[in-house]
Amino acid sequence: MTPLPSPVGQPLHLIAADEARRLLREVAPVGTEIVPIDRAAGRVLATPVFAPENAPRDRLSAMDGFAVRSADLTAASPEQPVPLRVVGTILAGTTFDGVVGPGEAVAIVTGGVLPEGADAVVMIELTRLPPDAPDAVWVERGPTAGANLVEPGEDFVAGAEVLAGGRRLRPTDVAALAAFGVIVVPVFRRPRIAVFSTGSELCPPDRTPRRGQVRDSNSYVLAAEIESAGGEAFRSPVVEDDLSRLHETVARLLATHDGVILSGGSSIGPKDLTGQVLGALGAPGVLFHGIDIRPGKPTVFARVGPKPVVGMPGYPTSSMVVFEAFVRPMLARLGGEIGVVDFPAPGRVRLGKAYEKPISREDYLRVRLVEREGEPWAEVVPGGSAAISNVLRADGLVQVQAGITRVERGEWVGLHLL
């Protein structure tokens, strides 16, 4: 008969979710490069950007109207409008090079540079154009000095920090770079992460599985997740449950990448090889094996020098939760991002059913969003960790932290959108 291996190995030594986060945060950016601003959105700024000049540079009109001397117009009223002589027009991109004298005005568009002599702009709606005098304007209410102007440096003073180092640039951030004439920027290099699945039961997706086999899907998901987190993913073929093949693969990939993520094989049992392999790669080695969370407990994290190696749980739900809550923030740090909230849940929703859990554990509920009477509710998606269907149906995750044992139905909880 077949020899009987024990399916039970060493129990996991779970660490608290907060401690796992602390250890994962201790990775450092992988380097920098220069990119044109055309390709800067989504990248992480490596150094702060300071304003090289005031913005705006000049005193500008905030309105379509007339640049005037406010002292001329103190008596203006709709019944007794004050006539001014229009001595020029400032259109977009043009300036008026003369001086506005007493009794004079210059037509000006929004954003036009205020001409010398003028100290305010009167908006077009408070003026009338007399029918018989083409170069005159009547002002029905005078502006105070400084009215309807944008002052130099009102948006940014020269020397002020415009964008902080470590910020992941949004599309709108590019406006600040272009407006200041910054056409290339130093950004952190995208971390190059190798990814593969382990397990003798796995076959590639383009093969028909034999009985007992399943197709590898996790390496595809992880590669897409890594890319969505700002990394560059390099997918590698499935590795069977074999200590030396696994060791050789991780060591080889680690030599040519900034980190390695492998899927499956991290729970305790006859197939638990990841922990052994990661422990034998080099210092500091395994930093934790097992997090006190649900789902996602059998997660292993090691560092070899500065390079992270993560063993992800093989179940789709567990893998997704661990990626969003732990690996994504780690990759953000590896990509140079600063001030990343670990697991951002900026908005609140009402939880659709009461939920209980042990006090030490941190749980992640897969939820669907529904609106009821104008309020957002999060309905917990049923289904086990092994299923794919519940991952597809979830709109987001709700984190129930350690220290909490019960959330009541209808309680407001933080939502992390997927």
**Mask 324-343, x = binds a second copy (CB under 8 A)?**
--------------------
- If one asks whether residue 95 binds a second copy (CB under 8 A), the answer comes out as yes
Classify strands 355-356 and 375-380 as parallel, antiparallel or unpaired: unpaired
- If one asks whether residue 239 binds a second copy (CB under 8 A), the answer comes out as no
Q: Report d(CA 276, CA 244) in Å as an integer.
A: 10
Residue 233: HSE in the Cβ half-sphere, 13 Å Cα cutoff: 20
Which residues, numbered 272-311, are part of the site for a second copy (CB under 8 A)? Answer: none
Q: Candidates 19-27, 52-60, 247-255, 403-411 — which segment interacts with a second copy by CB under 8 A?
A: 52-60
CB of 28 to a second copy, least distance (A): 25
H-state helical runs in 95-200: 173-179
Classify strands 60-61 and 149-150 as parallel, antiparallel or unpaired: antiparallel
- List the structure tokens of 82: 């004050």
CB of 220 to a second copy, least distance (A): 5
- If one asks whether residue 241 binds a second copy (CB under 8 A), the answer comes out as yes
CB of 43 to a second copy, least distance (A): 11
Which residues, numbered 138-167, are part of the site for a second copy (CB under 8 A)? Answer: 150, 154-156, 162-163
CB of 367 to a second copy, least distance (A): 10
Contact 44, 170 (CB under 8 A): no
H-state helical runs in 280-417: 316-322, 328-334, 389-393
Q: Candidates 21-29, 227-235, 252-260, 279-287 — which segment interacts with a second copy by CB under 8 A?
A: 227-235
Contact 303, 24 (CB under 8 A): no
Applying CB under 8 A, among 145, 175, 255, 354 the residue interacting with a second copy is 175
Which residues, numbered 359-378, are part of the site for a second copy (CB under 8 A)? Answer: 369, 375-376
- List the structure tokens of 27: 């990775």
CB of 137 to a second copy, least distance (A): 8
Applying CB under 8 A, among 71, 158, 178, 255 the residue interacting with a second copy is 178
Q: Report d(CA 267, CA 241) in Å as an integer.
A: 13
Max intra-chain CA distance, the chain: 114
